[in-house]
Amino acid sequence: MSLQVTSIILSLAILTTVRVAFAEGPPKPTSLFDGKTLNGWEGDKKVFRVEEGAIVAGSATDKVAHNDFLCTTKEYGDFELRLKAKLVGAGDNAGIQFRSKRVPNHFEVSGYQCDMGNMTGRSIWGSLYDESRRNKFLAHGDADAVAKAVKKDDWNEIFIQCIGPKIRITVNGIQTIDYTETEANMATSGVIALQIHGGAPAVASYKEITIRELKGEK
């Protein structure tokens, strides 16, 4: 085979690959919850259940014994996560974990959390907390803007984007977090988890959970 023919074949192969990639487009979101079962999730099924197309945890009347989490069985690194969440009750605290892992022989999960609820007189919906690791808030959104955006005792749309060290969070279209991790050795992948917080009675609900995995995007 001549060098010229080989070159033509290679060029055609490259062109075909480019055309296929262009036709496929960016990765499409996939559902993490089928609306009927907890397939793809692991956790205490006595705490988490499916009700009316949503994952629900907690109690409207009884104290919640301790923090509890329902985790995906798969880990995710760079992604865009979208879901709707609702929180009702005096407990007023829950959240969505990401790039997280279970603490061995314990009910806790360690990693980043998009918080939900109110604390010390301000809304913490969309705040970024470091659960069972640094144990502190890493960033808050504008208190007034978040308070106006959140629908009390109703469904709120949450968007979480992780690309490398960058974390962005929005609640009902209002950006609350644009955070860049600067500390070394922080996990860049892990499970997604849904939380019910221990304490006063509260019910946390989550539905329409989709994720789009990102590769090589900025």
In CATH, which of 1.10.3720.10, 1.10.760.10, 3.50.50.60, 2.60.120.560 is domain 29-213? 2.60.120.560
pLDDT given for residue 27 in this prediction: 84
Question: Quick one: pLDDT at residue 218?
Answer: 53
pTM of the predicted protein model: 0.87
Residue 203 neighbours by CB under 8 Å, 6+ apart: 56, 57, 58, 59, 60, 87, 88, 89, 196
**203 in Cβ contact with 58 (< 8 Å):** yes
- CA dist., res. 99 & res. 44, Å (int): 20
Cα 177 from Cα 69, distance rounded (Å): 23
pLDDT in tens, 142-158: 999 999 999 999 999 99
Cβ count within 10 A of residue 204: 28
User: Taking 60 as the threshold, does the pLDDT of residue 170 lie above it?
Assistant: yes
CB-based contact 128:139 (threshold 8 Å)? yes
pLDDT of residue 2: 55
- Per-domain residue ranges for the chain? 29-213
What is the predicted pLDDT for the residue at 18?
Answer: 40
Task: Work out the average pLDDT over 18-43.
Answer: 81
**CA-based angle 131:137:139, to the nearest 5?**
130
pLDDT, tens digit (0-9, with 9 covering 90-100), for 37-95: 999 999 999 999 999 999 999 999 999 999 999 999 999 999 999 999 999 999 999 99
- For the chain, strand residue ranges (E) read 30-31, 41-42, 48-51, 54-59, 68-76, 79-88, 93-102, 109-119, 122-123, 128-131, 136-139, 156-163, 166-171, 174-180, 190-196, 202-213
